[in-house]
């Protein structure tokens, strides 16, 4: 295997015949400002003197200066959210709230091209993913929860429900607009008001969402967006007048937040990291499974909390699967996020690239066998080639720690029980995939996996109607579906 792969399989099969011409998405129509403040109480405000820069990870060029919210800024936002909650939003009938939420959904659709381009510029993800996945799903989330706003009395039969008040929400950089939608849509549908902080490397689509919310005419203060860094997030978490905290990000920060919230009476949901197992049985449709493996780990550069970052393949099909996987990896296009052919765009930040490199070096040091297809990475920007490790054992760091990059660790198993034991051998419990021709096997394995989401013969499928969330160190609480209403309601 080692010898063969020194010349890329793509070369062996196609020579240079199948190089794609570039297919750039134009970006001159998007209007990105030089600086952004916050959106508080229905106004775009610039408070304080401190700022930070958001840049384009594919070019390393600065894009805009962004205001860094401090405790006083967060306090203004929480006060605006409280006022809006007391005076308008909590009193408004659900059918009226729904109209606003539908309007946001439709406006996201109308501005989808602009949002997709800015998402790719600010965060590095391929335009075909922001265009076909992130932005449509963000709109779908608002549509879905708009539908619940006037039906809350029927959501949990026999129970009556109340909104909570002000929700403080903190989101990561891997799906910037989509995570904002996952947080804001259910909060608004249930009658709560919001103070949300985008991640520091990807604040731009959140500010475009602020423009949409403003144009949609939401009462001032219903949604407040405060830009900033970790300390800004902490100020939201620790604010006395926040009733509910919703956080998506790393397990490390999740634990800090859990400690901070303990004993305060604030309701908390945590969506944290993962180390998902993608389990391939020997009776699986192999070619489809290979597509599922690629989608599971290389989608969004592997910056996916539910990524299938551990491949568990049945021993007797290991060589066939790995050979097909290497061949498929050799066809992946890595490079400019704004090129419509690109499969793997830029790593979100220099820090994240360093984290990935450190863990990949650890994999090599610990003796796993690394494979990367031959691909030329751009000279500037943060890029990492798609990578797989074979000969991985469960004790390797690359089998235990979340890499959050385009790096797959391959392990083998012989029996279904061994597959389950190995899949569950992780502190996390967010997502798994199971590939088998047999429905009964699929359901039995799914029942034994300690994982919030389990995909059967597919991977990374998202739908607003389907709940998402974790067990163990992947957090608690669900987003999506009727389950996703619960964290924002008091149910009696």
Region of 31-39, 53-61, 76-84, 314-322 interacting with Mg ion (CB under 5 A)? 53-61
Which of 306, 375 has the CB closer to ligand NAP?
306
Site for Mg ion in 110-129 (CB under 5 A): 122
# binding residues, ligand NAP (CB under 6 A): 29
Is residue 219 within 8 A of residue 89, CB to CB? The reply is yes
The size of the chain, in residues, is: 492
Q: Does position 404 bind ligand NAP by CB under 6 A?
A: yes
* Annotation says 271 is catalytic: yes
Find the shortest distance in angstroms from Cβ 54 to Mg ion: 4
Q: Which does 273 bind (CB under 5 to 8 A by kind): Mg ion, ligand NAP, none?
A: ligand NAP
Choose the catalytic residue: 119, 305, 402, 432.
Answer: 305
Q: Which of 229, 332, 362, 448 is in the footprint of ligand NAP by CB under 6 A?
A: 229
* Annotation says 305 is catalytic: yes
# binding residues, Mg ion (CB under 5 A): 3
Find the shortest distance in angstroms from Cβ 185 to Mg ion: 24
Q: Which of 5, 8, 25, 54 is in the footprint of Mg ion by CB under 5 A?
A: 54
* Phi, psi (degrees; rounded to nearest 5) at 280: -110, 115
Which of 236, 322 has the CB closer to ligand NAP?
236
Q: Does position 301 bind Mg ion by CB under 5 A?
A: no
Which neighbouring-strand residues pair with 248? 271
Q: Does position 471 bind ligand NAP by CB under 6 A?
A: no
Is residue 380 within 8 A of residue 373, CB to CB? The reply is no
- Let me know if 219 is exposed, middle or buried by CB neighbors in 10 A (0-12, 13-18, 19+): middle
* Phi, psi (degrees; rounded to nearest 5) at 433: -125, 145
- Two tokens at 239? 């604010």
Cβ neighbour number for residue 91 with a 10 Å cutoff: 10
Rounded Cα gap, residues 251 and 426, in angstroms: 13
Rounded Cα gap, residues 119 and 105, in angstroms: 17
Which of 54, 192 has the CB closer to Mg ion?
54
Cβ neighbour number for residue 47 with a 10 Å cutoff: 17
Q: Does position 166 bind ligand NAP by CB under 6 A?
A: no
Q: Does position 220 bind ligand NAP by CB under 6 A?
A: no
Which of 178, 317 has the CB closer to ligand NAP?
178
Rounded Cα gap, residues 303 and 87, in angstroms: 40
Match 């290497």 to its residue by tokens: 326
Q: Does position 459 bind ligand NAP by CB under 6 A?
A: no
Is residue 330 within 8 A of residue 10, CB to CB? The reply is yes
Is residue 480 within 8 A of residue 182, CB to CB? The reply is yes
Rounded Cα gap, residues 27 and 31, in angstroms: 9
Helix-, strand-, coil-residue percentages of the chain, each rounded to 5: 45, 20, 40
Which of 170, 489 has the CB closer to ligand NAP?
170
The DSSP 8-state label assigned to residue 191 in this structure reads T
Q: Which of 37, 165, 249, 302 is in the footprint of ligand NAP by CB under 6 A?
A: 249
Q: Which of 119, 134, 271, 473 is in the footprint of ligand NAP by CB under 6 A?
A: 271
Which residues are catalytic, by number? 271, 305
Residues making contact with Mg ion (CB under 5 A): 54, 122, 201
Residues making contact with ligand NAP (CB under 6 A): 170-174, 197, 199-200, 229-230, 233-234, 237, 248-250, 253, 256-257, 271-274, 305, 402, 404, 430, 470, 475
């Amino acid at each position: 295997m080692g010898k063969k792969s020194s010349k890329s399989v793509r070369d062996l099969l196609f020579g240079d015949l199948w190089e794609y011409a570039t297919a750039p998405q134009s970006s001159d129509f998007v209007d990105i400002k030089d600086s952004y403040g916050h959106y508080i109480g229905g106004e775009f405000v610039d408070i304080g003197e401190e700022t930070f820069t958001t840049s384009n990870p594919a070019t390393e060029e600065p894009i805009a200066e962004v205001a860094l919210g401090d405790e006083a800024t967060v306090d203004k936002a929480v006060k605006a959210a409280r006022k809006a909650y007391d005076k308008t939003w909590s009193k408004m009938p659900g059918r009226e709230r729904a109209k606003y939420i539908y309007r946001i959904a439709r406006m996201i659709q109308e501005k989808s091209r602009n949002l997709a381009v800015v998402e790719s510029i600010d965060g590095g993800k391929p335009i075909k993913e922001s265009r076909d996945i992130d932005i449509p799903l963000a709109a779908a989330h608002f549509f879905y929860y708009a539908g619940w706003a006037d039906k809350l009395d029927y959501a949990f039969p026999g129970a009556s429900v109340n909104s909570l008040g002000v929700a403080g929400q903190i989101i990561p950089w891997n799906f910037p607009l989509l995570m904002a939608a996952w947080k804001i849509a259910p909060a608004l549908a249930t009658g709560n008001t919001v103070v949300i902080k985008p991640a520091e490397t990807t604040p731009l689509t959140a500010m475009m969402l602020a423009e949409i919310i403003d144009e949609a005419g939401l009462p001032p203060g219903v949604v407040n967006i405060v830009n900033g860094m970790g300390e800004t997030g902490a100020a939201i978490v620790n604010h006395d007048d926040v009733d509910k905290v919703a956080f998506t990000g790393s397990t490390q920060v999740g634990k800090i937040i859990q400690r901070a919230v303990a004993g305060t009476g604030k309701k908390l949901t945590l969506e944290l990291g993962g180390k998902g197992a993608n389990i391939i049985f020997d009776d699986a449709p192999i070619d489809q499974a290979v597509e599922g493996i690629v989608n599971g780990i290389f989608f969004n550069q592997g910056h996916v909390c539910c990524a299938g970052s551990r491949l568990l393949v049945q021993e007797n099909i290991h060589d066939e699967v790995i050979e097909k996987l290497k061949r498929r990896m050799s066809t992946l296009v890595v490079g400019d996020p704004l090129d419509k052919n690109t499969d793997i765009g830029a790593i979100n930040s220099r820090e994240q690239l360093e984290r990935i490199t450190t863990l990949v070096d650890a994999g090599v040091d610990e003796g796993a066998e690394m494979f990367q297809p031959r691909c030329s990475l751009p000279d500037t920007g943060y890029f990492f080639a798609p990578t797989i490790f074979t000969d991985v054992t469960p004790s390797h760091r690359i089998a235990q720690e979340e890499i959050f990059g385009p790096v797959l660790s391959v392990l083998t198993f012989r029996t279904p029980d061994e597959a389950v034991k190995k899949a569950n051998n992780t502190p996390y419990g967010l997502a798994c995939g199971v590939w088998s021709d047999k429905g009964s096997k699929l359901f039995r394995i799914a029942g034994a996996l300690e994982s919030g989401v389990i995909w059967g013969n597919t991977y990374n499928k998202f739908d607003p109607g389907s709940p998402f969330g974790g067990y163990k160190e992947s957090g608690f609480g669900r987003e999506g579906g009727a389950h996703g209403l619960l964290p924002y309601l008091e149910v009696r």
